Structures are given as structure tokens and as C-alpha cells.
Amino acid sequence: MSEAWPAIPLNEWQDTCQTLHMWLQMAGKIRMAFAPPLNHWWHVTMAVTARGLTTGPIPYGEDSFEVEFDFIDHQLRISTCSGASTALALEAQPVAAFYTRLMDAVHGLGIDVTINTKPQEVPDPIPFDQDYTHKSYDPEYAHRFFRVLVSTNKVLQRFRSGYLGKASPVQFFWGSMDIACARFSGRPAVPPRPGRILGISHEEVSVGFWPGAGLGYPAFYAYAVPSPAGLETLPHWNAQLGEFVLPYEDVRQSSDPSETLYAFYTGVYEAAAERSHWDRAALEENYEIQKMQAH
């Protein structure tokens, strides 16, 4: 099994996935309580680290603090820029118990915060403090999920590179439990989307990975907003979701997973940008040519 692209069938770790999803949402909601708003909800996302996922520095008065999931030592660490820190073990326990431990740890560092305990973007949500249903944590599969995020993060960073137009950071959305990156044309989405001040307001092509909740298997995805006519005729189009879906296992079993994934992402972007008449000459810069010339 490749350490970089490990097998991660959803049916073998679904209970852990659902529990971990709730834990990640708690950390994300803590960040959301203090981070200044950005469009597209970029102020609440998390980022991949060499050991797991982090909220990054969260402003708190004249101080800052960070919440990090370590999927190597299986700990959740909370640290402040003044040097105070505490840690919790990532181990099997009900979501309600984890919620209590997390909030006690945050409050113990002098951070006064409350969060909305209702989970986001999941069917039949159970408030964190009442959730005794989800209580699994398999450290092996949590680590595999982390390794997939690390490998995907590298490809997404490459996808983001060389784009001169507005592009999102490579970021982890805890609501839907996916890692993603988006490129924008610079034009508002047509037709406009009412109430989308923090959501999808402009033309974009977004690509990413999610573990497959609702789909049944982990997969990479790509979509355009708005979706131009004819895009649905291309390979990997999923009519049910209205976007492109490439099963994770297809990429993992390929001769070069990173190149296979990069080709998928760039292929969808190029097809959507051409059909939507993006000004690609102004938006893109060929860093591969620059690298060749530099040598």
C-alpha cells in the first residue's frame, strides 16, 4: 500500500469518519466565532499541516490561539501565542464527551467562547452536546485520511500555481469535510445568486476531494459555476451531482496518481474556461516554461 495514497474505502471507516467530522466542525466553529469574515467563507476553513489539520492562528483580543489535529500522535492541541497550551487525546469517545472536553480545555486557557452546537451540512444533525451516537475513532484510518489530504494538498497547490486571477487558498472545509481550491474568472456569476454574499457569488471552477459521504466512496470532484452548456458530455460527469467525479481508487491504482489527479483538475478547468469564454491569456501564467528558461 502506498503511504502517500493509501486505501481508504468509506465502508471500512465510516463510523470514524462521521465522528471525526463532528470533532472538526467544533474546531471550525471556534474559529468562526472570532475570525473576521471573508467572502466564500474562507475565514473559517482549516489547512493541512505536516501532522494533520489546523485552524491557523485565531485572533482573540490582543492574543491569538490555534487548534490543531495531530493524526500522527493522535492528539488535539490548543496553543496560544503567549506560550500556554493543552492537549487532548484523539481516541474513541462520544461526540458529546469530546465536546465537553474541548470546551473545557479552551476555557481553561482563558478563552471565552460559545459555539452553535448544531452540526452543519449533515442529514439529521444531532447537537454536539447530545450526540452519543457517533463515538468511533480508528487511528489507522484517521492517519490514512490525513495522508490522502497531504497528497491531494500537493496537487491542489500545483493547480493553484501559475494562476494570475483570483484563486482561493488550498483549504479544508469542515462543513462538508473536503479539501478544495477554486479559480475565478473575475466576473459575477450569472444568474446572480441571492444571499450569496459569503457563498458562490462569482464565476468559478472548483476542484477538490471528499471522503464520500452521500456518495458511498471517496472521490475527487470538479465543477464550474455556472456550468456552461456541453460540459456534461465530457468524461467523469456525474448527472446526479451535476459535477465531475473521479473515484479515489481509480487515481490510487493509476501508474502516477499525482499526475492523474492533476490532469483531471486541469482538464475540467480548461473545458469550463473555454466554454465560458474566460480570458485565459490574462489569467494564466506558464510557470513550466519559466522553470525551463531558468535552467
- Kindly indicate the confidence band of residue 232, based on its pLDDT and cuts at 50, 70 and 90: very high
Do residue 80 and residue 106 come from a single domain? Answer: yes
Mean per-residue pLDDT of the chain? 93
* Res. 38: pLDDT tops 50: yes
Distance CA 239, CA 236 (A): 9
pTM strictly above 0.85: yes
SS3 188: strand
Do residue 25 and residue 112 come from a single domain? Answer: yes
According to the model, what pLDDT value does residue 195 have? 46
According to the model, what pLDDT value does residue 2 have? 72
Do residue 104 and residue 172 come from a single domain? Answer: no
The residues facing 64 across adjacent strands are 59
- Kindly indicate the confidence band of residue 288, based on its pLDDT and cuts at 50, 70 and 90: low
Q: What is the mean pLDDT of residues 173-202?
A: 78
The candidate with the shortest Cα–Cα distance to 116, out of 176, 24, 29, 23, is 29
According to the model, what pLDDT value does residue 194 have? 46
Cα 141 to the center of its chain, rounded Å: 17
* Res. 189: pLDDT tops 90: no
Distance CA 173, CA 41 (A): 9
Total domains, the chain:
2
* Res. 197: pLDDT tops 50: no
The answer to whether position 291 is within a domain reads no
* Res. 171: pLDDT tops 50: yes
Which residue reads 465522528 in cell numbers? 19
Which residue reads 510557470 in cell numbers? 287
Distance CA 198, CA 204 (A): 14
Range of 233's domain?
Answer: 148-283
